[in-house]
Amino acid sequence: MAHAQKPTASRCFPLLPPRLPRSVLAGALWLALPASAVPAELDYQLGLSLLRSDNIALASFNEKSETVVSPNARFEFQQRGPRVNANARGSVSYLEYLSNTFDNDVRGELVGEMTWNVVPQRVDFVVNDYLNRQPVDVLTSFNPGNEQEVNVFIAGPTFHVRPRAGTRGQLDLRYANSYAEDNKDFNGDHYNAAARLVRDTSATRSVSLNFETTRSEYRDNENDYTRNDAYVGYALALASLELTATAGYSQLRLERDGTLGEPMASLGAGWTPTPRSRLTAVARTGFSNAVQDVVNRSTDLSGSILNEMSSNDVLVGPSAVRQHEAYFAYHFTGERVGFHVQPYYQRSRLATDDAADPADPADPDADLLATRTNYGALVSVDYQVSPRSTVTLLLAHDVNRYAALDRKDLGYIAAFGFANRMSRHWSWRANLQHRRRNSAVAGASYDENSVVLSIVYLR
């Protein structure tokens, strides 16, 4: 159920919620695991940042300048062993607004994924947690007053069987909890069961038959639904090429809108033509929802540029959508020059009875955000001017269309950065950024210029 991943730019300080029940539970489960003989790798950074913005609220009128002081910490954790495989990364920042434009705040983000091999080759247990910030209202600029905590917690066992040589059976059972600080309709419980039969046709190829069912239950029972998927899969893994493809059919049983059906398909390819370059392509069509969007946008670890940027435009809510999306990414890492380019496209339409138009503005019950199209591209270049210094240039363009509102928003970002490694443990950096949004709606456009100065201690 992988999504095409699109990058969108934001400033950098994700939200740490006032309570973290699921994240704390995930941490407790991690700590309860048996100790592994394989050492864990932990890297962290401690820093202090100073942000100056000439339009901190990203407003069209009455722009307010603000200075923000932010002590912060980042970490990356990795463990690979015979019993436990774990990956985690996160950050936490305290923001103090010196002119009191917004209340001082603590923010954080977390992506944690762990697989515990309970019984070798028979039973695994998975614990994942995804915490980030998303807008309360996607039509309003993503400023500190329009942010909320969004968390998705996932856990459950996987059972493996090998009925014969070259054939594998797998049963995945998962529980997921979705939580949003302000958009309470997003809060709910999700139950998934997936049965898979995989046949290895060669050392590098496999085919699979997959059946999945997911039950989503929200605060409002009218938003509940059950999704059933049946699809075949193909996987190829060569030294420099990975390819995955699926094709099948989805059925969506909505509590208030009856039963819908739609074909589903996905294609993913990764090619490494040289040790310094990699191309990635993803395309997907089928049903989706905000929970999947949050997870997939949290787990994009494909490059340093994307790690510094968050996808903060998820329409946080309970609705299922019909979604078509694709992206292409190219990475090049040379001795002194690095390059990254990524165009993307996504179109979402509210999943409802085909006889009704959920985006008809003449209908008083219409969902005016029912149909949304988003596309754009990002380009970045890194250049190492000396063994200890690097400059970065980033350009991005993003388009959002809302059919029922007859609204089109054009977003532009230009950023320049300089980083200097003073010693093994200390570095400093400076970043200049210009952001602009031109909207067809009065009062929705803005311009912002900002500068960030940071000093960082690296482990």
pLDDT at 450: 96
Indicate the pLDDT class of residue 3, thresholds 50, 70 and 90.
very low
Q: Where exactly are the structural domains of the chain?
A: 21-458
pLDDT digits (tens, 9 = 90+) for 27-51: 555 555 555 555 788 999 999 999 9
Percentage of the chain beyond pLDDT 70 is 85
Q: Is the pLDDT of residue 301 over 50?
A: no
Q: Are 240 and 204 in contact (CB under 8 A)?
A: no
The mean predicted confidence, pLDDT, of the chain is 86
Q: Is the pLDDT of residue 254 over 50?
A: yes
pLDDT digits (tens, 9 = 90+) for 108-154: 889 999 999 999 989 999 999 999 888 998 888 888 989 998 999 99
Measure the CA–CA gap between 123 and 157, rounded to whole angstroms: 7
Q: Give the predicted TM-score (pTM) of the model.
A: 0.85
Average pLDDT over residues 386-408: 93
pLDDT digits (tens, 9 = 90+) for 52-77: 999 999 999 999 999 999 999 999 99
pLDDT digits (tens, 9 = 90+) for 326-340: 999 999 999 999 999
pLDDT at 384: 96
Q: Is the pLDDT of residue 451 over 50?
A: yes
Sign (positive/negative) of CA torsion 109, 388, 69, 47? positive
Average pLDDT over residues 329-356: 87
pLDDT at 400: 92
How many other C-beta atoms are found inside a 10 Å radius of the C-beta of residue 81? 14
CATH, range 21-458? 2.40.170
Q: Is the pLDDT of residue 9 over 70?
A: no
Q: Is the pLDDT of residue 305 over 50?
A: no
Angstrom distances, CA of residue 441 to CA of 359, 406, 408, 445: 18, 9, 8, 8
pLDDT at 116: 94
Average pLDDT over residues 370-375: 90
